[in-house]
Structure 1
């Protein structure tokens, strides 16, 4: 592992991103988000309280896309059907991902911030071709089938070690003890990150991935400070490796590529945020979602316990069922007709993957977990088209190994208390999940 730069000073004193936002809302009740439009699904309470299902079902029944003219995130189109999202994703020139037009989340540029003070982080997922192509190609070798095969034994060993530390018959938090620990270890390996500081990656991921924090000027400025510290930490790792021979870690890959070795500090930070949030929140929340789903559907848990050959398909079904990133955003680059609606240049188009993966026209009984589902692979939890998640194979590998190692140890995980979900409209997952382990 890498030598260790000075630890982030904020990490030792800062609250979690969610705690900071909830504290702000308690102290400023007049600032609670106002949602006057009935089709506005940007409000985070429906995800924290897990009551988004019927809202999206109603939207899907009424059509593929719906215009919201008033929301805390500005006017936007909601695209809610599976086929419709794939159509938009297949036209990247017409529907831009570029940070220069607004990026990949529902956030809008704030009017109260002068241009010179804007804190915008370019990243390759928030770029259009050709920039996107070159930068994605730089990191893609870390996620090839050959690399997955090379890493499998190490992932299996680390997964087994984490599971072997799980207490039997005692209540513990699955999110912290298993999901966060496994994904943070994986990120540390990908970056060749100082091992003792690996929980910094989780801390940075949580602050970077919460869209609502950006709606509060003070919290947004606080977050900027945290991400600046992240950038400084990684700059020290960059400087250490700049004079070394190429290695297979992501930082070294960036250093030794023409597409990424001259990045500005903000572009470097943006790509770090992308790789950290993409490698952390998504897999972490699916690892928690798997346990919660198997607990919620005992018939599927029984199938899993009785037949390990179902595990590869179960991974795909759990990705569909959980959908760890709720949405992605595109911006219209010109006027166009889309599903009978007139979209104007500059319009914000929000693609709700969460809804697409419950589309009744694609998935029979979509609100039921079915680990034998024949078309589970049709989920779009990883996106679709040129921006499909570059680390999808690694996520699938981690999830498969987790289920295989749980099965080998005959671990049955039961949820024994109230779960706490992430209060956000972008990252979709769990903050806390009290569970107890027994053997089947």
Structure 2
């Protein structure tokens, strides 16, 4: 979520563009209006993505030494690449995540989700609590991605721990001790990625065959593991939590009056796992009447743009299919629009279709908690319970 300290930094409602200092005193222009966020994303020449993966908390020398010891590097590949290599790298990754290949995974994923839903249903029917993050959503995107692009042979738990550690290391407000611990964890798994990049098949082999050096292969794998599968599992958790609070929407799903695809889009608009993204201005200019000197860091508030009343009819209500619902910027826009958007939508549609009935009649025992983070929400659990013998059709 957006830095909590910023919630009181600017009087509500936020202006279209606001200058705000972060936790270390660095000033950023926070852009909230949908049209302006889209304008920035659509102009990679004026607003480059070079700072997209920069650590928001400057790393101390001790943490940098740990990363260097693991030969950690993040060269321009996808989200942080404004160079000439970006289109080709993106095209290779996009081919691995082609809609036809994604659609082919749907029957397998549906069967897996049904198995998990059956187990969770039995748990809930017995009056026991169930964690819909840990036991349903956490590893689904990783398992699908592994089938599409081939990933390093590592335990699922280790990959998830690495991905969450990276999201915290690069995008959270941290103290030096925490940075050091996270640097060690991220650095260790980076070594696994580097070994796989040199010999692995699938996407890694395709990138090598196109002539990209090992660091670029590692960078692409890093991005897919961190900003790809991890954000989708976060979204599935956030969407299920939202649906638990929307009995009318669940009723519409049961009768067919509400479309699964519309629920997914409204979820992306109101509960995006990525709330902001960054750009850096390359030249002096104006944005929404605000001066933007060259070198300025811009924080694009994607989540706030999704609630822009100029775009959405009822911006704060969960109304699948409403006007403007699909105009959200959860996947960004322009040349760096999320390359895995079709995959994420497919996964979310399967989970909504198969798992929404789990939420009928439940009580939320532990809602998802999200740590302070500039960009990612990172929910850690979603625990629900149903009274034994409940029909599950009386609301939440």
Q: Deviations over 1:42-72 (max 9, x none)?
A: 52478xxxxx6x9889244xx3101124642
Q: Corresponding residue for 2:324? A: 375
Q: Deviations along 1:214-240, whole A, 9 cap, x unmatched?
A: 643333233222222212222333344
* CA distance in structure 1 between the aligned counterparts of 2:111 and 2:324, rounded to whole angstroms: 31
Name which of 223, 227, 230 aligns with 1:274: 223
Gaps of 5+ in 1: 1-40, 47-51, 242-246
1:189 alignment partner in structure 2: 147
* In 2, Cα distance between equivalents of 1:57 and 1:381: 25
State the shift of 1:412 in Å.
2.9
Distance 1:343 1:317, change over 3 A: same
* Aligned partner of residue 126 in structure 1, secondary structure: coil
The 1:308–1:205 alpha-carbon spacing in structure 2 relative to 1, beyond 3 Å, is farther
Instruction: State the distance in 1 between where 2:20 and 2:217 align.
Output: 34
Distance 1:223 1:354, change over 3 A: same
Contact 2:208 2:214 in 1 (8 A): no
Shift of 1:73: 5.7
- 1:261-410 correspondence runs (5 A): 262-264=213-215, 267-307=216-256, 310-406=259-355
Aligned residue runs from structure 1 range 236-247, under 5 A: 236-241=195-200
Q: What is residue 161 of structure 1 aligned with on the other side?
A: 115
Q: For residues 393-432 of structure 1, what are the alpha-carbon distances to aligned partners after superposition, in whole Å with 9 as ceiling and x for unaligned?
A: 000000111122236x776373421324221221124211
In structure 2, stretches of 5+ residues that fail to align are: none
Distance 1:410 1:228 in 2: 39
Alignment check: 8 A CA contact 2:78 2:220 kept: yes
TM-score between the two structures when normalised by the length of structure 2: 0.85
CA contact 2:152–2:192 (8 Å) conserved in 1: no
Aligned to 1:180: 138
Q: Please report how far the alpha carbon of residue 104 of structure 1 lies from its aligned counterpart in structure 2 after TM superposition.
A: 4.5
Instruction: Give 2:166's aligned residue.
Output: 208
Out of 70, 87, 103, which is 2:39 matched to? 87
Separation in 2, partners of 1:120, 1:339: 36
Provide the aligned C-alpha RMSD in A: 3.0
Relative distance call for 1:337 and 1:416 in structure 2 (3 A) is closer
